[in-house]
Amino acid sequence: MAREFRTVGVVGLGTMGAGIVEVFARKGLQVIAVETDAEAVERGRSHLTTSTSRAVGRGKLSQEDADALLARITTTTSLADLADADLVIEAVPESLDLKAEVFAELDRVCRPEVILASNTSSLSVTELAVRTGRPGKVVGLHFFNPAPVQKLVEIVRTVVTEQDVADDVKAFAATLDKVPVVIGDRAGFIANALLFGYLNHAAKMYEQRYASREDLDAAMRYGCGYPMGPLALLDLIGLDTSYEILDTMYKQSRNQTHAPAPVLKQMITAGLLGRKSGRGFYTYA
Ligand code: CAA
């Protein structure tokens, strides 16, 4: 019989983590969200209230439903509070060491049958699975930004993921009104492996002053029907996250397509991370 997921844990309340929490809470699930300290919890909460207030403002959600949604979310700074979760997804920054540490701790805290998932965009899910005593119950569950809007989730199964685990997670993703696709464990999975060569190329064109940022973006929006241009999308994803994704893919394949454009590193060093820092290729209010 398929597993039931009523209470889900989310570790990390950054852009992706907060979006994932919203996806779960919208569907009536109880969510336990974990961050490192009170300040980070507050940032995550404010992300959630901004998003729900916007939905209320647009008439997409009643104030009553927004309040009920937020009431389903418990925040904490202790991973030990995930002991009651039926499934946990980790969405901490893209560092293998950091994620591996979280997985080892989750393995200690969560019941042995609980599935542990990672929202990693490009790191090896197998590497995370082997840090636990339950490698067969570890999968990738990769959401796209903004998580409440984008329909896709990539389910990454490793060579040791148990079949019923992959099946149950796929069925669960469908109950969230997402479109699940299943892929093996290779850097970039499907979407990022195809997308990031394009984004990197746009950053290189910008760096070479090939065209202005506005014209680069306009070309892809109005010529190819993309919802946003590549530089605006890099700002949305975050330049630091984008760099990590490119670097991981480059190190795995040595394909020049994914050799990060130097301008990305320079902008990161200067604190220009995109929307989340208020400035990237564009400046945000
Ligand atoms: N949280 C929740 N909802 C959001 C949101 C957010 N951060 N941003 C936008 N929305 C909602 C809006 O409320 C609105 O909802 P309704 O239609 O129900 O009113 C809807 O999305 C459209 O928003 P807007 O009208 O404000 O803006 P838009 O039409 O220009 O769309 C966009 C904004 C959804 C971001 C759109 O431009 C888009 O889809 N861009 C492409 C994004 C993309 O490619 N994402 C994938 C990145 S790769 C990735 O994420 C993988 C990885 O590992 C890094």
Q: Give the residue, by CA position, lying nearest to ligand 1 atom 44.
A: 233
pLDDT in tens, 170-226: 999 999 999 999 999 998 999 999 999 999 999 999 999 999 999 999 999 999 999
Q: Same domain for 104 and 140?
A: yes
Confirm whether 19 is domain-assigned: yes
What CA–CA distances, in Å, run from 237 to 9, 55, 199, 201, 246? 23, 21, 11, 16, 12
Q: Is 192 a catalytic residue?
A: yes
CB of 227 shorter than 6 A to ligand 1 = yes
Q: How confident is the model at residue 168 (pLDDT cuts 50, 70, 90)?
A: very high
Confirm whether 176 is domain-assigned: yes
Q: Same domain for 123 and 12?
A: yes
CB of 136 shorter than 6 A to ligand 1 = no
Determine the atom of ligand 1 nearest the C-alpha atom of 195: 48
Which of 159, 184, 209 finishes a domain? 184
Token digits of residue 275:
């929307």
The chain-wide mean pLDDT, for the chain, equals: 96
Q: Give the residue, by CA position, lying nearest to ligand 1 atom 34.
A: 149
Token digits of residue 256:
């020049």
Q: Same domain for 170 and 62?
A: yes
Mean pLDDT within 38-60: 95
Q: In what order do the strands lie in the sheet with 179-184?
A: 73-76, 30-34, 7-11, 87-90, 115-118, 138-143, 152-157, 179-184
Contact (Cβ atoms closer than 8 angstroms) between residue 111 and residue 136: no
Q: Same domain for 167 and 26?
A: yes
CB of 194 shorter than 6 A to ligand 1 = no
- The structural domain count of the chain equals 2
Which of 246, 238, 159 has the alpha carbon at shortest distance from 200?
Answer: 246
Confirm whether 143 is domain-assigned: yes
Q: Same domain for 166 and 207?
A: no
CB of 57 shorter than 6 A to ligand 1 = no
CB of 148 shorter than 6 A to ligand 1 = yes
Of the residues 35, 90, 118, 142, only one is catalytic, namely 142
Q: How confident is the model at residue 2 (pLDDT cuts 50, 70, 90)?
A: confident
Q: Same domain for 31 and 57?
A: yes
Residue 94: give its domain's CATH number: 3.40.50.720
Of the residues 51, 121, 122, 200, only one is catalytic, namely 121
Confirm whether 169 is domain-assigned: yes
User: Exposed/middle/buried for 82, CB within 10 Å: 0-12, 13-18, 19+?
Assistant: buried
Residue 34: is its pLDDT beyond 80? Answer: yes
Q: Is 121 a catalytic residue?
A: yes
Q: Same domain for 142 and 229?
A: no
Residue 246: is its pLDDT beyond 90? Answer: yes
Q: Same domain for 147 and 201?
A: no
Q: Same domain for 232 and 162?
A: no
Mean pLDDT within 248-254: 93
Which of 164, 184, 204 finishes a domain? 184
Confirm whether 284 is domain-assigned: no
Which of 167, 184, 201 finishes a domain? 184
Confirm whether 281 is domain-assigned: no
Residue 1: is its pLDDT beyond 90? Answer: no
What integer pLDDT is reported at residue 255 of this predicted model?
A: 94
Confirm whether 48 is domain-assigned: yes
Of the residues 22, 90, 94, 154, only one is catalytic, namely 154
Mean pLDDT within 136-157: 97
**CA 60 from centre of chain:** 24
Percent of the chain with pLDDT over 90: 96
Q: How confident is the model at residue 285 (pLDDT cuts 50, 70, 90)?
A: confident
Confirm whether 36 is domain-assigned: yes
CB of 56 shorter than 6 A to ligand 1 = no
pLDDT in tens, 79-94: 999 999 999 999 999 8
The ipTM, to two decimals, is 0.94
CA 162 / ligand 1 centre spacing (Å): 33
Q: Same domain for 78 and 168?
A: yes
CA 24 / ligand 1 centre spacing (Å): 17
Residue 216: give its domain's CATH number: 1.10.1040.10
Q: Same domain for 196 and 84?
A: no
CA 236 / ligand 1 centre spacing (Å): 9
Which residue bears the tokens 């996806």? Answer: 23
Q: Where in the sequence is the domain holding 65, given as residue range(s)?
A: 7-184
Q: Same domain for 31 and 100?
A: yes
What integer pLDDT is reported at residue 158 of this predicted model?
A: 98
